[in-house]
Amino acid sequence: MSLNHLSRRKLPSPPLCRTLLTGLLSFSTTTTSSKLHQHYSFKPPPSLSSTPQNPNRFPSVNTKKKQKPRYRPPSSLDRTGIKPIKSDLPFDFRYSYTESSPTVRPIGLREPKYSPFGPGRLDREWTGVCAPAVDPKARSVEGADDPKLEEKRRKMRERVQGEPLTGAERRILVEKCQRCNTKTQVNLGRDGLTHNMLNDIHNSWKHAEAVRIKCLGVPTVDMRNVCTQLEDKTFGKIIHRHGSFLVLFRGRNYHPKKRPMIPLMLWRPHEPVYPRLIKTTIDGLSIEETKEMRKRGLAVPALTKLAKNGYYGSLVPMVRDAFLCSELVRIDCQGLERSDYKKIGCKLRDLVPCILVTFEKEQIVVWRGKDYEPVEDGYFLPEREIFDDPVGNLVCSGEDSDSLDGTAANRTGDDE
């Protein structure tokens, strides 16, 4: 009867049960803690106490964790906290030293004056054409080099070169640079001697006293300019030349760890805008005479056909000899880039000298002018360069010196 009576009784609601259980547990906890404290002087940890001391110690499950910042790869353009590079080289930094002249002033720029060395990486200001070694505001209007910089370059070169090489030392270095003995070579192409190529030459000088340089393309029209710029910008010495191959000696007192600081260009800057090479009318002629001369120039037999990225060292003497027989000379440039044969025509205008007539149909047509006089100077280098040591012994000549590539130098092209 008692069991039935208990089962028939209504049980308390769930919230009431939860309240009763909580009260009993708290009472038992307080009594237990008080007994422990009385008998053993024990204080229960916070986990056993009814009210936790530090509620932030046990965060709730729904609390979001702090997200880590996203990974940002390092950038070479990020110069925060880094000082700009300072270089003591006493010359203006240009993209190409052989294909640009400080005396020719551009008439405009194709892009804003963004430094190709990167923002804030160099302590020199980029003018759109070069990064001058001196303040461009203090430079003269003519654009001539500062005599102090020329003197500094001369002293640096003398200090690095030291005493000149003897004939036997030259032969040994030239023999080491032949193709059968080494594969190390620096290629000088259509852009000429670029700024970053200076770093390649110094890297080659870490492992060898001399480096072989192969020159092809537009710069070979004026090989003397190439040799001059190489010696002037690297402070080295050319000890052998055969056609398009050069051997550049670093100097007796050169030390790789004391090499000059050469900041690298990160991209190629756009070329500025220069005056037009060919005008509407040729100076001294009327419009009709100019049109007639261009038609006759395109009908003249071609003097030679230029190969792409060939050696053009004999082109200027060929044009000078052709002017002795004909007043118009045509050079076939099919297959070449338009910018390449325009540069070749500009070099011919200054070196022959002559007057440019047209660049139509991938041809270079030049006119010798009304009052033409043959040039009789030995400006251009021979096919093989002859060097003499201070004693007077012949080091290399056209008869007994071997080619660096084992073959004869490439010609400009065969006559058609």
CA distances from 220 to 206, 223, 241, 397 (A): 27, 5, 13, 21
Question: Inter-axis angle of helices 223-234 and 195-204, to 10 degrees?
Answer: 70
Give the tens place of pLDDT for each residue, 277-314.
998 888 888 999 999 999 999 999 999 999 999 999 99
Q: Which CATH class is domain 287-367?
A: alpha beta
pLDDT score for 87: 87
Q: In the chain, what are the helix, strand and coil shares in percent, each to the nearest 5?
A: 30, 10, 55
Give the tens place of pLDDT for each residue, 141-164.
444 566 788 888 888 899 999 999
* Residue 360, strand partner residues: none
* Residue 85, strand partner residues: 122
The answer on pLDDT for 364 being more than 90 is yes
Average pLDDT over residues 74-89: 78
The answer on pLDDT for 320 being more than 50 is yes
Q: What is the CATH number of domain 93-249?
A: 3.30.110.60
Residue 197 — very low, low, confident or very high, per pLDDT cuts 50/70/90? Answer: very high
Give the highest mean pLDDT range of 34-43, 77-86, 260-269: 260-269
Give the residue with greater pLDDT, 86 vs 412: 86
Average pLDDT over residues 13-41: 56
Size of the chain, expressed as the number of residues it contains: 416
Average pLDDT of the chain is: 80
Report the candidate in 388, 316, 382, 311 with the shortest Cα–Cα distance to residue 352.
316
The answer on pLDDT for 195 being more than 90 is yes
SS3 per residue for 294-327: HHHHHHCCEEEECCCCCCCCCHHHHHHHHCCCCC
CB 286 within 8 Å of CB 119: no
Residue spans of the domains in the chain: they are: 93-249, 287-367
Average pLDDT over residues 382-398: 48
pLDDT score for 51: 55
Report the candidate in 240, 154, 245, 254 with the shortest Cα–Cα distance to residue 204.
254
CA distances from 375 to 288, 325, 410 (A): 30, 14, 25
Least confident segment among 22-26, 100-104, 148-152, 381-385: 22-26
Say yes or no: do domains 93-249 and 287-367 share a fold.
Answer: yes
